[in-house]
Chain A
Amino acid sequence: MSFKDLFIEHDVPPEVQEWIKGEVEAQEARYSKIEKEMIDLAATREKWYQEFFDRITTLGYNTDGDDKMTINPADLPVKPEGCVDQVVWKYGVDGEESPDAQK
């Protein structure tokens, strides 16, 4: 991620480089904890998905703002065979293998 502007080149002192290294390690631990918590939430999330499907096939799906369209149950997606429900993707499309790629 970069905001693509507003950076001035400079030397980074050794103690700051050490601090950066320490923060990278701390973030790895933070990410792993989140990843585990989200795996543990999978069963609850399956229920939330079903409730979501129930709502968009009865009350409607928000297409734009408050504009809604009722989804035909026949048009609901099918969970791909062997798909592991995953909601945390470490670097998104960069460096992350999708379930498709794992097959």
Chain B
Amino acid sequence: MRPHIEPFCDRDEGFKHLRLPNFASGMHYKMLSFDGDTGACSMTVQFDGGYRRTPGFAWTEMEMIIIEGEMQVGEKTCRKGHYLFVPAGYAMPEMTSPKGCLALVMYNTGEPSHEESTQHHPLAQVDLYHDVDSYMDIPWAMGNVTKPSVAAGCLIKLLNFNPMSQAMTFLYCMTPGFYQDNISYHDCAEEGYHLWGTSWMMQFGDVPTGGYFWRPAYINHGAFASEYGCIALGRTDSKLFNHFHYNPWSTPVQNADRSAARIYQRDPLLYKWAFSEDHNHPHGPEDFEQTMLRRGDEEGHDTEHKSDGHTHDHWHGHHHHADGSEHQHHHHDGDSTHTHDHD
């Protein structure tokens, strides 16, 4: 678990040389937040000019955005604002930076790792890989991805979305003169890194360029303001919902209780089901879509046979056809095929 790191500014820290197995030299980091249980972490990373990393994959999901300079990833040149989402086990091509670059690098589920390989790991979910020039190729959208919403003047660009947990990675900006007079907390952890500019929060004061926070769920933050504007990368680890209020002295436990109370008020039947003694176990209620038996490739469950709605052939013990029609089917006690008429 990562502790609450807020506020923190990487400009106040010096770089350390990253010396881990299989990583090329010329990689320096400032640790922003760290999960001592798994090694997952977020770091500002300086790649020296001439940096070169062999093709390979990490054991963990990884995200990266270029802050300054350029990184060559295979044939692609990634410039300032380029974002990459790399699933665990996804073999990246050679990465080089002839003139060096600064990046925000996030290892989500395990410690930083690099296994030299030109092949994806068999368990890699390769279809999830994506990268984009977030500055040039995505327009800003209103920040009202959830309701109740942030005030106008807080805009976002969605970079990654997990359909299961609804975790998000996004750029957000505050326009000059932005302010929002409420206190917020969420049911999810939230992370932010200021790529440029300064914002202010009532609990923590100014968050400048290089400013960072890792905030566990249910912790108050806000009111909010930004005099000259800012642009930042944000992430949540599950669904983002804004619980607004105006009590600066409420505690995380009180906030969490309020969230539960809101479920009780809004979805009393769901609350009763989820929190009743019989169903309240550590793994949470079962989602049958994730656990039910599925046909898969089980022999006999063919999917090639099509039906016109009147006639079809299939493996189980009945068949349909028009009266008087002639049809064929296979018997399971051999490979014989025969034709017969119906009464």
Contacts and interface: CB of A to CB of B under 8 A. Distances in A.
B122 to A, nearest CB: 9
B131 to A, nearest CB: 16
B257 to A, nearest CB: 9
A71 B165 CA distance: 35
B237 interface: yes
B148 interface: yes
B244 A98 contact: no
Contact of B151 (A7, A20, A55, A66): A66
B144 to A, nearest CB: 6
Given A1-B189, A5-B164, A16 B21 contact: yes
Contacts, number: 199
A68 B244 CA distance: 12
A26 B254 CA distance: 30
Given A3-B165, A52-B248, A23 B41 contact: yes
A11 B201 CA distance: 42
Given A5-B164, A65-B144, A93 B218 contact: yes
B20 A15 contact: yes
Contact of B203 (A12, A45, A68): A45
Interface stretch (B3-11, B271-279, B326-334): B3-11
- Among the interface residues B109, B218, B256, which one has the most CB atoms of the partner chain A within 10 A? B109
B60 interface: yes
Contact of B123 (A8, A27, A38, A100): A8
Contacts of B2: 1
Given A8-B59, A34-B6, A90-B3, A20 B111 contact: yes
Contacts of B88: 6-8
28 contacts: A1-B2, A1-B35, A2-B108, A3-B167, A4-B238, A5-B164, A6-B109, A10-B113, A16-B20, A27-B31, A30-B31, A34-B5, A34-B6, A52-B248, A56-B182, A61-B181, A62-B180, A63-B182, A63-B244, A64-B149, A65-B152, A76-B246, A89-B252, A90-B4, A91-B1, A93-B216, A98-B251, A98-B252
